[in-house]
Structure 1
Amino acid sequence: MALNSREHIIQQIRKALIHPSDPPKRVRSESLLTESPFVECEEDTAMRFAQRLLALQGKFVYAENLAELGDFLQQAAGTVHPSQIHCMEPSMQEILTRCNFAFAQSAPSHSSGASDEALRAMEIGITSCEALIAWSGSVMVSSRQNMGRTMTILPPV
């Protein structure tokens, strides 16, 4: 007589209860409990970040002081008028001011009623990041920052 699905499953459960099998043995290495899953980096993390960023065709500049940073920023900005260079973060504005780098003190924003054209007219947006990720050479920005990610998306530079 043919068993329906329910009866077949019940029969399999009865067999398993009559002839139980040993539970699988857990292999638990003590090293898994004491060692970190992260591989320690032998080299300086700043150097590793720079190398990975350069491998991704990113640009990395090291400045020993604010004067060097200001010189690099002037060179990078080229002929862009300071009114098209925007920075919204007070901490970054302070650094740029100390570097003698000219920029617009505020950027157009949706909250101030600026149009999409005004937002797209920005040539350069300067913002901080939340973290530099040495393992991949990535720069982490998020919506937690001032203006969210607008300053990293809309301006071409």
Structure 2
Amino acid sequence: MLSPREQLLGRIRSALAAGPAPAPPVPDWAAPVHPPLPAADLAVVFAENFRRIGGEFFYCETSAQLGAALRDWLAERLPAGQQFYVWEPAMQTLLASAKVPLQATAADFRTQAAVGLTSCEALVARTGSIVVAPATASGRRLSIYPDQHLVLARPSQVVAEIGDALRVVQARYSDHLPSMLSLTTGPSRTADIEKTLVLGAHGPRRLSLFLLEDDAETAA
């Protein structure tokens, strides 16, 4: 009967005689991590994922619908004595025609800025994220300081992946990239303390997106 030492050496010799172990499969580093999203339904995928992470989504087919939705939103959620700030000229013109009251300057911003409306660079369908840059008249403050952040976007701004959004920014600004990019995924939140979820810890407590059709201004 073989001793334990001889049995061990026998197994080693058998393993060596069988040749080297097969190499592990080589990953396909060029393959996408996720299956591709349906190009025709990117806006629907974005809306679903945006709502899933706590965002409020409003679809508006015309500028009149946008005006009605914003007036209802402000009537319900703008605190008394506080202001709705909009600093980008194109949006000021659009909302003025839709009869939406707004504060166009930074007057009393620190004390009365309950709600701010900004544009965005892109919408990422995969994660429901909004890419915001300070390269507009909204700057950095309007998307961060108010307790409630509103975003006005168009269906043509929806892209599938974060990489696609970065390429959109690169194409738009070329060598003059904005000083920062914010990838906003839902309202500001943290659960660092005793695993208790707190909204508004590092930025806006509520994030709402109004998706306005690209041809809304000419729609009947």
When the two structures are superposed, what TM-score results if normalisation uses the length of structure 1? 0.64
Structure 1 unaligned blocks of 5 or more: 1-26, 109-116
What amino acid maps onto 2:93 in structure 1?
A: E
Match of 2:141 in 1: 150
Match of 1:24 in 2: none
C-alpha contact 1:82 1:102 (8 A) present in aligned 2? no
Q: Secondary structure at the match of 2:100?
A: coil
Select the structure with the greater relative contact order (CA < 8 A; seq sep ≥ 6). Answer: 2
User: Which one has a bigger Cα radius of gyration?
Assistant: 1
Match of 1:135 in 2: 126
C-alpha offsets along residues 10-30 of structure 1, whole Å, 9 cap, x if unaligned? xxxxxxxxxxxxxxxxx798x
Match of 1:12 in 2: none
Q: Secondary structure at the match of 1:74?
A: helix
Match of 2:99 in 1: 100
CA–CA distance in structure 2, aligned partners of residues 100 and 147 of structure 1? 20
Report the more deviating stretch, 75-84 or 86-95.
75-84
Match of 2:113 in 1: 122
Change (3 A) 1:146 1:82: farther
Match of 1:51 in 2: 48
C-alpha offsets along residues 18-49 of structure 1, whole Å, 9 cap, x if unaligned? xxxxxxxxx798xx5xx778743125110110
Deviation at 1:65, TM superposition (A): 1.0
Change (3 A) 1:136 1:28: closer
C-alpha contact 1:49 1:134 (8 A) present in aligned 2? yes
Runs of 4+ residues over 3 Å off in structure 1: 35-39, 79-83
Counting strand residues as a fraction of each chain, which structure ranks higher?
2
CA–CA distance in structure 2, aligned partners of residues 38 and 146 of structure 1? 36
Q: Secondary structure at the match of 2:85?
A: strand
Match of 1:41 in 2: 37
Match of 2:178 in 1: none
Counting helix residues as a fraction of each chain, which structure ranks higher?
1
What amino acid maps onto 2:128 in structure 1?
A: G
Deviation at 1:69, TM superposition (A): 0.9
Percent of paired sites with the same residue: 29
